[in-house]
A and B are shown apart, each in its own frame.
Chain A
């Protein structure tokens, strides 16, 4: 479920970082305002507990595989949404740094998928609604399973949407959804069963823990629903603006070159050393098309003459061809790539040797 940097475009990564950072800042101020300083050590130690719990496995009957606790929902049940979100985020930060479980740029996505949905959707709108004011063992079990399943489904959908909009993976949206959702349905059910069992146990042993979490009201007149709506709006706007900015710019430039000159790229003298040097200049003067997929909209009225129609009409093969050109008339690119790879490793090796001999 953890996303890695390698499958992410910088636009999606940075937008989700902004959303996660905003939510963390908001939750931090909330937790600070609650003035319950018992929560500070509790959050830290429960985060560490989630680590310990994730390392212990149990065998799932009839499948032979093993499962473990994910932890998002149980933290929300024990700590309330704000403190739970911070705790989940801190666990993900440590996982990203020490276990390389999900990358640093992908941290925003992972915090959103694994923290936002359980803490701000599944807990307040499903778990609490089912529990009502008086928890009973049956209600606790049903609420835990349903909330865990729905939270997990939303998280999985988040992974799919973020991966597809990054465009590094070639998996189409539909295939990816069909792949991810059923797997996470199973994971969600297991997570729900474990959460239900642990919550019931805590309810029997120390009911006051659950009671105090249920009764804790956020300070001020901002129900969780408003918070959710505000953050969805912020996410959509940031994502929209950043991606518009990122995908239009190189496209617009290329499109206008096509329109103005009637050919795909400006051609210079390709002889001798001038070729590589002019390409150097070209690359420094403006960003070579970013990672964003080129989507040239074909509008009938925008197509002026016959020649540009021929270019615009067949975007797909043209795209491929420019990709091929960029990849680098193949052999030269591979030769140079291997050379620079060798130089990189050699410089590290020599540097290390020199330092050690000193």
Chain B
């Protein structure tokens, strides 16, 4: 139960971040969606053994979180929470790939460990980019942007409907689940039988709710479109934002900056 409350609260918190009023929040959502996609593709297009060249990419989450005034601790918590999913598969890399690739004095590091570490860094970067996008844009903004970029309208309406009713139904499900847990001592009563009857009742109530919503929509003259706020323009600021970040990502992708810095530093030291 605590899990459901926590998940709903977490969801609301992330949603509330998008109500911020910084210059980054005010940018047209399309610009942020495009930059996020360029960022993710640049990060995942690296060789599986690439580790250090990924590090400069942290400039993007760091700068965006600073400009958008997003809480670093909260974001880090969300990223750490999902790391185990990627790690569950990547942890097999050291087992299957044992050839030593780096010799640091007496220690040999195998290719498997390097690629495993690379997966962790990739995870942090890609997950971070997605959460930052939501925190800076908000779900309705992202839907609008995707629709303007060519997503079918039916699907956009579906996404917005889903978004509006998630809060209602998760709270309803949470209440039902709490009632069941309070009536069941220990593990008793949490069986499949009570679960299916609970879920089925929730489903029937959901169905009736949909019928009521449909009536209300007809009464209000719904034409298959949601109207959200005043439309934003894709202007010079957006163009600048997209071009600068894309140029940085592509430059970082083509040139291994850490390698260059490291070589120069080592030359200067020796």
Chain A contacts to B: CB under 8 angstroms: 2, 4-10, 13-14, 21, 24-25, 28-29, 31-32, 37-38, 40-49, 51-53, 55-61, 69, 86-87, 89-91, 93-94, 96-101, 103-105, 163, 167-172, 175, 193-194, 197-198, 201-202, 205-206, 209, 272-273, 275-276, 279-280, 283-284, 287-291, 320, 323-324, 326-341, 343-345, 347-349, 351-352, 355
Asked if B164 is at the interface of the complex by the 8 Å CB criterion, the answer is: yes
> Shortest beta-carbon distance, B85 to chain A, in Å?
6
A97-B58 in contact (CB<8A): no
> Shortest beta-carbon distance, A163 to chain B, in Å?
7
Q: Which of A25, A32, A87, A169 has the largest count of B CB atoms less than 10 A from its CB?
A: A169
How many Å lie between the Cα of A245 and that of B92 in the bound state? 29
Query: Which of A69, A94, A326, A343 is close to B49, meaning CB atoms less than 8 Å apart?
Result: A326
Asked if B14 is at the interface of the complex by the 8 Å CB criterion, the answer is: yes
For the complex, count residues of B whose C-beta is within 8 A of A. Answer: 130
B262-A335 in contact (CB<8A): yes
B254-A168 in contact (CB<8A): no
A55-B111 in contact (CB<8A): no
Interface string of B110-141 (1 = CB under 8 A from A): 01101100111011001101110110000100
B210-A41 in contact (CB<8A): yes
B210-A344 in contact (CB<8A): no
A6-B44 in contact (CB<8A): yes
How many Å lie between the Cα of A296 and that of B154 in the bound state? 46
> Shortest beta-carbon distance, B43 to chain A, in Å?
8
Asked if B159 is at the interface of the complex by the 8 Å CB criterion, the answer is: yes
Asked if B21 is at the interface of the complex by the 8 Å CB criterion, the answer is: no
B254-A284 in contact (CB<8A): yes
A7-B214 in contact (CB<8A): no
A90-B199 in contact (CB<8A): no
How many Å lie between the Cα of A170 and that of B56 in the bound state? 25
B255-A55 in contact (CB<8A): no
In the assembled complex, which residues on chain A have CB atoms less than 8 Å from the CB atom of B165?
Answer: 44-45, 47-48
A52-B45 in contact (CB<8A): no
